[in-house]
Chains A and B, each alone.
Chain A
Amino acid sequence: MKELDEKDVIYVANLGKLNLDSADINKYKYQLKQILNEIEKIKNLDIQYEEIMFSPSLNKNVFSNLKDEVFDTKKIISNAKNKTENYIEVRWEKND
């Protein structure tokens, strides 16, 4: 396939929160396909490797360690003064 379908272009534009006019759509049909063809190449790589790397930073992610012990939803909800199912009720104030 040399080009994307019109509906595919509209679909990805929608994902990216972009309106496109018909001239844009025509242009991107080919251009997006050009980039996707390059991206597709990694599909063919046979890599038996489990580890991933989000960032080259050597800093320790302190938040990932806190995740289990701090963000226990049930525990947090149980401490709330007012609650509805899994939500904490708070007072809503409206400024007119």
Chain B
Amino acid sequence: MTNYLELPLLEINKKLKNKEIKVIDLVNECFYKIEKNKDLNCFITLNKEEAIKQALYLDNKEVDNILFGIPISIKDNIVTKDLKTTCASLMLKDFIPTYDATVITKIKEKNMVIIGKTNMDEFAMGSSNETSYFGSVLNPFDKTKVPGGSSGGSAVSVSSKIVPFSLGSDTGGSIRQPSAFNNLVGMKPTYGRISRYGLVSFASSLDQIGVISRNVYENALLLNVLVGNDENDLTSSNKEVIDFTRLINKDFENKKIAIPSFYVNEAIDKKILDKFYEIIEFLKSKGFIVEFVDIEYIENSVSLYQIIALAEASSNLARYDGIRYGYQTNKETKDLDDFYKTNRQEAFGDEVKRRIMIGSYVLSSENVDVYYYKALNIRKKITENFEKTLKEYDFIIGPTTTTFPYNLGEKQDDAIKSFFDDLLTIPINMAGLPSLNLPIGHFIGMQIISSKFNEDKIYQLAHFIESNRGGINE
């Protein structure tokens, strides 16, 4: 079998243009690798028939863009017309959407080939990919370990070299954390940068679609085609669409970097911190000014997330009652209310049920003031504190995770572990900032954060570190 998909994107593009290879070769390579790596369980639904049909069609067309004919996998909470979208839940096991998400329309316009829908934590709730109705995903580097989540299947489809790209979603770290656990580049763009139309909602004020890729440059190339205002998403931004590769290999205008002292706290594994300190020394040696700062209230982000994300989730998931679509029980039920409740009891997994219950609780009667509004107060304050820091500094950096990938099943009965897995990534979603995971060691990632809509600057710094220290995937 061929290994064209392991070549850099520019080289694949050149070979396609020169007719040295065909799109069908790439697609066949993907499905061969999927079969070979079946045990990883990173796909829920394959799009084999359509992908082959599209590849044969594209082989008679002119290669007109860098992403032409490139295979991509899609997290299974992004709706795809006529292709099952399950959210890794029994509730939507047989759900076939009637429309494409905006991001899907955009990648189809570029003639990328959708290979399949990737496994994930159920409704994107989790950080180990163990809450999926379709079973755990294995980490390809060590099959006894978790791949991270919730976009675990997406990350594994790239790290196991099946596809060069995957689309994921990030509500509290769901792109960055599995990217760190798979030695990949994962970008969570600014809230509003990419339309959320067609992303199955978990926590609408935190959810964001983003890109998982092998390296920084290719990540920026795909982000280029996904962004832009969308009238179907009122939170999508009107901000000018720029070329996100434009600052790569350019000189830095400013070189001031902040590290929140919380990002080097004692909960973080020492080996991760040591690797991170190496990066700090490297940056200092290249003339960057790196300083520690305090960002008040970020240590409270997990509590805020549990209140805000779960409140929004309980509301968003209220639509799954089994009446119009989704799972329906075979049991006899007393009345309509019992029918709803039984459907939900049988079709949602434990993690989802826990989160719905907590979300409903914090929104009930006086709890709205005690918990929900207070959390929104603190969220505003954290956001202002980040903005203040980013007025003085060009970047904020820190480790992505506190730990290395742990053993499958190790923390499954712990109701709060998934929240603490995202201890360092959640604050960024609270403030709606862009953040990228850059692999800096095996299973070790660092986050690069900047002001809203400064993804181009993030790619600039990430590429600078990647190319000067040797990208882990090169």
User: In whole angstroms, how far apart are the Cα atoms of A57 and B191 in the complex?
Assistant: 6
User: In whole angstroms, how far apart are the Cα atoms of A53 and B340 in the complex?
Assistant: 32
Chain B residues within 8 Å of A52, by CB: 373, 376-377, 379-380
Q: Mark B309-353, 1 if CB is under 8 A from A, else 0.
A: 000001000100100000000000000011011101100101001
A side interface size, CB within 8 A: 37
User: In whole angstroms, how far apart are the Cα atoms of A38 and B234 in the complex?
Assistant: 33
**Pairwise interchain contact B356-A16, C-beta atoms closer than 8 A:** yes
**Pairwise interchain contact B374-A47, C-beta atoms closer than 8 A:** yes
User: In whole angstroms, how far apart are the Cα atoms of A45 and B303 in the complex?
Assistant: 11
Query: Quick check: is A35 within 8 A (CB to CB) of the other chain?
Result: yes
Interchain CB contact (< 8 A) of B360 among A16, A24, A36, A41? A16
Query: Quick check: is B354 within 8 A (CB to CB) of the other chain?
Result: yes
Contact status of A49 and B192, CB under 8 A, knowing A18-B345, A56-B205: no
CB-nearest residue of chain A to B308 = A54
B side interface size, CB within 8 A: 59
How distant is A40 from chain B, measured CB to nearest CB, in Å?
A: 8
Query: Quick check: is A90 within 8 A (CB to CB) of the other chain?
Result: no
Contact status of A49 and B356, CB under 8 A, knowing A39-B371, A42-B375: no
Chain B interface main SS type: helix
Query: Quick check: is A20 within 8 A (CB to CB) of the other chain?
Result: yes
Q: Which of B318, B416, B430 has the most CB of A within 10 A?
A: B416
**Pairwise interchain contact A39-B358, C-beta atoms closer than 8 A:** yes
Q: Which of A9, A13, A21 has the most CB of B within 10 A?
A: A13
Chain A residues within 8 Å of B380, by CB: 49, 51-53
Q: Which of A52, A53, A55, A59 has the most CB of B within 10 A?
A: A53
CB-nearest residue of chain A to B420 = A38
CB-nearest residue of chain A to B321 = A17
Chain B residues within 8 Å of A58, by CB: 192, 237, 452
Contact status of A12 and B306, CB under 8 A, knowing A49-B381, A52-B376: no
User: In whole angstroms, how far apart are the Cα atoms of A10 and B370 in the complex?
Assistant: 21
**Pairwise interchain contact B314-A16, C-beta atoms closer than 8 A:** yes
Chain A residues within 8 Å of B297, by CB: 45, 47
User: In whole angstroms, how far apart are the Cα atoms of A32 and B373 in the complex?
Assistant: 21
**Pairwise interchain contact A12-B307, C-beta atoms closer than 8 A:** no
Interface residues in A58-90 by Cβ distance below 8 A to B read: 58-59
User: In whole angstroms, how far apart are the Cα atoms of A28 and B356 in the complex?
Assistant: 12
Q: Mark A26-48, 1 if CB is under 8 A from B, else 0.
A: 01101110111011011101010
Query: Quick check: is B238 within 8 A (CB to CB) of the other chain?
Result: yes
Query: Quick check: is B419 within 8 A (CB to CB) of the other chain?
Result: yes
User: In whole angstroms, how far apart are the Cα atoms of A41 and B304 in the complex?
Assistant: 10
Selected A-B contacts with CB under 8 Å, 13 pairs:
A13-B353, A15-B360, A16-B359, A17-B318, A24-B353, A39-B371, A41-B303, A42-B307, A47-B374, A47-B377, A52-B373, A55-B205, A55-B432
Report, nearest first, the 9 A-B pairs whose CB atoms are least far apart: A56-B432, A15-B360, A52-B376, A31-B415, A53-B380, A16-B356, A57-B235, A19-B341, A19-B345
Which residue numbers of B lie inside 8 Å of A, CB to CB?
A: 191-192, 204-205, 234-238, 297, 300, 302-304, 306-307, 314, 318, 321, 337-338, 340-342, 344-345, 348, 350, 353-354, 356-362, 364, 370-371, 373-381, 383, 414-416, 419, 430-433, 452
Which residue numbers of A lie inside 8 Å of B, CB to CB?
A: 9, 12-13, 15-21, 24, 27-28, 30-32, 34-36, 38-39, 41-43, 45, 47, 49-59
New A-B pairs, 11, CB < 8 Å, besides A12-B358, A38-B302: A16-B353, A16-B359, A18-B341, A18-B348, A34-B414, A47-B378, A52-B379, A54-B376, A56-B431, A56-B433, A59-B238
